[in-house]
Structure 1
Amino acid sequence: MNALFKPWQTPGSPGCAVSVTKAQQLVFESAYGNAVVTDHVPNTPSTTFHIASVSKQFTAFAIYLLQADGKLSIEDNVRKYVPELHDFGRSIRIADLLHHTSGLRDQWSLLALAGRRLEDTIAQDDVLRAIFAQRELNFPTGSRFGYSNSNYTLLALVVERVSGQSFARFMAKRVFEPLGMTDTWIQDDFRVLHSGHAEPYGPGPGGLQHRSLPYSTYGATGVQTSVEDMARWAMNLDRPKVGTRGLVEAMKATTRDDAGRAVNYASGFETARYRGAATIEHSGTDPGYVADFLMFPAHRFAVTVLCNTEGPNPIELAHAIADIYLGGVLAPKTVVEHKPVVLDAKHLASFAGTYQEEPGILFAVTLRDGKLFMQDRDALTAFGERDFFLANAPVTFGFPDGNTLVIHEPDHDRVARRIPTVAVPDLTPANMQDYAGAYYSPELNAVYNVAIREGALWLSGPLGDAAVRQQAAPLREPDAFYTESLAGALQFRRDDRQRVSEFALSNGRVIGLRFVKLRDGLPELVHDDAPPRVKASP
């Protein structure tokens, strides 16, 4: 076990802490490296860490406690408790927040696009204002899975509104104190000092750097805890003292989207299988901290890895620890070998084309010399009539019908739809003029500028400057470009007179965010009302 953490056992290094439980027993705990590097304060099993998105399972647990109390139902419309949330024309249920099927844009991306930096002070009200300013969704509610921290920030607000208590007090009184989690708290005010807390670190150009995490936001993040307390939490999930077995089983239940596709995100847990065994797991990353909580419910086994440095991969560490303890009972690690088959060129040609996963994410499948190529460079080898694999990569590709590409990655599937392939001319200084100008986002209340500099197109705004680039010819769409920045992909749109009138920005966590081109001052806003102010806590 100690060998896994050897890189973080050197003097002057931050490090990690780990706990392992089997049923109702703590079978291992240890800590490595320093909680405070400058003062050589070592990490211990009771050192507290910021656990980032691992916090989500606690927020979900609070919702199910309130449902058990009869105070809410996860089928309720969120706006019943949070009327400040825009009415998008279809009910967003509490269940949609729990399973990330709401379509709400991610709060961190929105804040960053509006100019906030990771080192900035961010309070709960800052996050809520960004959520309430949304007037369009990434996708129709219920139509698909899309991970968004906004969902769990709203769930924390629902807990406050329904319970009449601050989220921190509710969690302390209903969860942490009854379970003896005396090291655990919700960081709703980063200025409050807590002894025994690990400070955040990360690599920099000159070596180790101190990170800043001045966040007073919670629900999606915000839990501060130790591996000792996480062991108590794991044992409660195994045999509940707070809540019931039915409550825990409800948390582990997954759902399906409107098309019947499985959504493998439960309520604060990602569900999967590892070496043949069912797992629930969640990892977390914030500046200076990484974390993972892994549980094998059938084996009544759990691992927590918490680190105060950005170097370790906590998921790999947690799985390696599971190998040590469960290696004799889990299925052997297997390598799937695909047997190549030969398909004729006419059959292969039916798969060639351009496929779009979401705006700005395209896949070009081309036929050359009797072979299919992905992105015109990676050869695809058939192992079935409609199935292909890449050499030296754990990814396969399927074409279930004439218009769909399914990319089977190790932990999830990605679906792209065929779009028309069109010839798009090169971007030149002459046609760049169409796009130049100032653009306003009502949701961000921010102006971005598109300008021509030394024969190239540039995007500038609160996030800084980014070059606007054109895809390779097989991946082009009309008026579509990309940036190597948080702005992601840009899809410009034209009016009836074929003048560029706006662009939509998409970066994965934010899809189709509209920026309206300014001509004579601010345009008439299409949004019906300004986002309301809100007080987060009762």
Structure 2
Amino acid sequence: MKTRLWALILPLAAGLACSQANSGDAPEGTVDLASLDAVFSDFSDPDGPGCAFAVSRDGQQVMARAYGMANLEWDIPNTPETVFEPGSVSKQFTAAATILLALDGRIDLDDDIREYFPEMPDYGEPITVRMLVHHTSGLRDWGSVAGIEGWARTTRIHTHKHALDIASRQQALNYEPGLYYSYTNTGYNLQAMLVERVTGQTFDEFSQERIFGPLGMTKTQWRDDFTEIVEERSVGYRRGADGEWHMLMPFENVHGNGGLLTTVGDLLRFTRNLDTGEVGGPEFIRLMHEQGTLTSGRQISYAGGLFVGEYRGVREVQHSGGTAAYRGFLTRFPDHGVAVSVMCNVGEANPGGLARGVAELYLGDAISEESDDDDPAGVEVDPARVAALAGGYRDTRTGQFMELAADGPSLRVGGMQGFQLAAMSETEFGSPDGISIAFEAAAEGGRPAAIMNTPVAVDVRIEPVGEFSPTAADLADYVGTYRSDEAEVTYWVEVEDGSLVLKDRYGDGEALEPVYPDAFTQGGTTYIFHRGDGGRVTEASLSQGRVWDLRFDRVR
């Protein structure tokens, strides 16, 4: 275990608002305990993993409870003092470290990252540290590239050397720096490495000295050595194909993107500082909440490892996360002084839904009074008009395929299993969480293109695509061997049983579904084949959520 000098000299009870499992110090009757327990009813089985949560009002913890088991092999229950991993909730801690370093004058947020990482390619336009913080760098997500290579996270002991090696191999970005937003862990691993290169300390040492220690976060550290013994740590579990619980742990040493080991109480201590500035002062608070701005001038909702927006009409600052089978959510409603932290060791948990379920109990009438005019209520639209919009679409930035399905007067993004958008008019559809699609005027007899907006992706143009039913001769055009040096992987494309199949080095693969001319999908990834002079297929590209247009040369 890491030795922390500050942990030895702080009073033993410093900052602890709750020391026993399933207890809290809220004034009796403030919130009915049965109502709180009902939120977590799916995770209170003594034979399964579960969750812990804590609540604060005006910076003071008023409730902490826990459910389910921390360790199924030893029948150890979760408590409010159990250590979990909150996944990408960790990013606000990394942003905080980067911002503190900038406030020290040791870096500038507008510095070109190649000043600190000369091994990174020159993409023509500089990538700044600020872009790493706001996910506007264009850098591909290293973990996604590792998965394309065949080593998805949790399948290999990844380190920062792997992350930097993958990042430095990318000869292209998802987009020109600053042009769009795309969530990428790469930017947050680079920030952790930047702190180490500038200070000469490990990222954990810097964080202990500047953040965890001063805020009394006595049970928080970075998981920079997954083999280390951590007292009171829960084990992550998920259901296997056999219906039984199986361990799923983050056996990797990458951190900064995630990798925080902490408790629900310690998370509240940190988020309180985002109001008080006890560490960092007013400028720290401002920079942590400064939302990213694209080169177009459009502002996005992502700030310093935080999403800034609203929930049911109430201003909210939050982040969710998941690593292996751990799940986490930390949210704060600054206008009402309420903050909620939730962490679970069960992969099936939805920590955001759980945290907001708790928050609603504490916010009470604030939600119902403020949300009436903010939630899209929808209007009556002829279902036939909606049905005429349904079909396949192509994201013009990435080439990714998207299906829109008609559900009466509503649209579903991602087909009938996707999320629903209510009709706001005959051409506009939206959801309470800020996702909208606005259709343009349609050419006669055809479906129109549309502009899609989300809290972080703005002005995304999607265009309708026609059905693609390739013949055997068409499929034969794509058969070959394709190589990407950026992902260090070779794929073999073959035809089996009348379908195109993409295989890896082990001969494993699944059939690709044709979606539009020269484009196929499988598992959320769109594969696009590109033709050269004479119409011969000469290369292919791959696009998925965090990797856009990764190119493969046809080598045979």
State the TM bucket, normalised to the shorter chain: 0.7 to 0.9
Structure 1-normalised TM-score? 0.86
494, 503, 506: which one aligns with 1:460:
503
* Correspondence for 1:484: 523
1:252 and 2:289 correspond: yes
Deviations 1:7-49 (A, max 9, x none): 2222222111111111231111121111111111111222111
- Preserved contact between residue 85 and residue 259 of structure 2 (Cα < 8 Å): yes
544, 548, 556: which one aligns with 1:511:
548
| Structure 2 Cα separation of the partners of residues 376 and 55 of structure 1 | 29
Deviations 1:69-108 (A, max 9, x none): 0111111111111111111110101111111111111111
- Preserved contact between residue 119 and residue 212 of structure 1 (Cα < 8 Å): no
- Preserved contact between residue 468 and residue 483 of structure 1 (Cα < 8 Å): yes
- Preserved contact between residue 490 and residue 505 of structure 1 (Cα < 8 Å): yes
Q: What displacement does 1:459 show? A: 0.2
| Structure 2 Cα separation of the partners of residues 499 and 92 of structure 1 | 36
Q: What displacement does 1:389 show? A: 6.7
| Structure 1 Cα separation of the partners of residues 258 and 421 of structure 2 | 40
| Structure 1 Cα separation of the partners of residues 478 and 338 of structure 2 | 56
The code of the aligned residue for 2:278 comes to K
1:398 and 2:443 correspond: no
470, 480, 488: which one aligns with 2:514:
470
1:18 and 2:53 correspond: yes
Secondary structure in 2 aligned to 1:58?
A: helix
* Correspondence for 2:277: 240
| Structure 2 Cα separation of the partners of residues 131 and 380 of structure 1 | 36
1:437 and 2:480 correspond: yes
- Preserved contact between residue 113 and residue 462 of structure 1 (Cα < 8 Å): no
| Structure 2 Cα separation of the partners of residues 254 and 279 of structure 1 | 13
164, 176, 181: which one aligns with 1:145:
181
Secondary structure in 2 aligned to 1:511?
A: strand
Secondary structure in 2 aligned to 1:255?
A: coil
Secondary structure in 1 aligned to 2:319?
A: strand
Unaligned runs of 5+ in 2: 1-35, 443-447
Q: What displacement does 1:231 show? A: 2.1
* Correspondence for 2:215: 179
| Structure 2 Cα separation of the partners of residues 431 and 352 of structure 1 | 23
Identity %: 33
| Structure 1 Cα separation of the partners of residues 52 and 379 of structure 2 | 43
Residue 106 to residue 86, structure 1, CA distance change in 2 (3 Å):
same
- Preserved contact between residue 89 and residue 330 of structure 2 (Cα < 8 Å): yes
* Correspondence for 1:66: 101
1:215 and 2:252 correspond: yes
Aligned residues: 504
| Structure 1 Cα separation of the partners of residues 363 and 70 of structure 2 | 30
After the TM superposition, which residues 13-162 of structure 1 pair with which residues of structure 2 at under 5 Å, given as runs? 13-117=48-152, 118-162=154-198
Q: What displacement does 1:256 show? A: 2.3
The code of the aligned residue for 1:87 comes to D
| Structure 2 Cα separation of the partners of residues 416 and 147 of structure 1 | 15
- Preserved contact between residue 20 and residue 302 of structure 1 (Cα < 8 Å): yes
Deviations 1:115-138 (A, max 9, x none): 114232212211211111111111
The code of the aligned residue for 1:446 comes to V
After the TM superposition, which residues 400-415 of structure 1 pair with which residues of structure 2 at under 5 Å, given as runs? 405-407=450-452, 415=459
For the aligned residues, what is the CA RMSD?
A: 3.3
| Structure 2 Cα separation of the partners of residues 373 and 277 of structure 1 | 26
- Preserved contact between residue 365 and residue 372 of structure 1 (Cα < 8 Å): no
| Structure 2 Cα separation of the partners of residues 316 and 386 of structure 1 | 30
Structure 2-normalised TM-score? 0.83
1:8 and 2:43 correspond: yes
Q: Which has the higher contact order (CA 8 A, sep 6+)?
A: 1
Secondary structure in 2 aligned to 1:215?
A: coil
| Structure 1 Cα separation of the partners of residues 225 and 347 of structure 2 | 23
297, 314, 336: which one aligns with 2:376:
336
Q: What displacement does 1:311 show? A: 2.1
The code of the aligned residue for 1:236 comes to N
Secondary structure in 1 aligned to 2:209?
A: helix
* Correspondence for 1:319: 356
Q: What displacement does 1:499 show? A: 1.5
- Preserved contact between residue 453 and residue 460 of structure 2 (Cα < 8 Å): no
Residue 375 to residue 16, structure 1, CA distance change in 2 (3 Å):
closer
Q: What displacement does 1:329 show? A: 2.7
| Structure 1 Cα separation of the partners of residues 462 and 97 of structure 2 | 42
- Preserved contact between residue 527 and residue 541 of structure 2 (Cα < 8 Å): yes
* Correspondence for 1:293: 330
Q: What displacement does 1:268 show? A: 0.2
| Structure 2 Cα separation of the partners of residues 231 and 364 of structure 1 | 40
Deviations 1:457-508 (A, max 9, x none): 110115941212212xxxx2x31111236xx111111121321111001112
- Preserved contact between residue 18 and residue 306 of structure 1 (Cα < 8 Å): yes
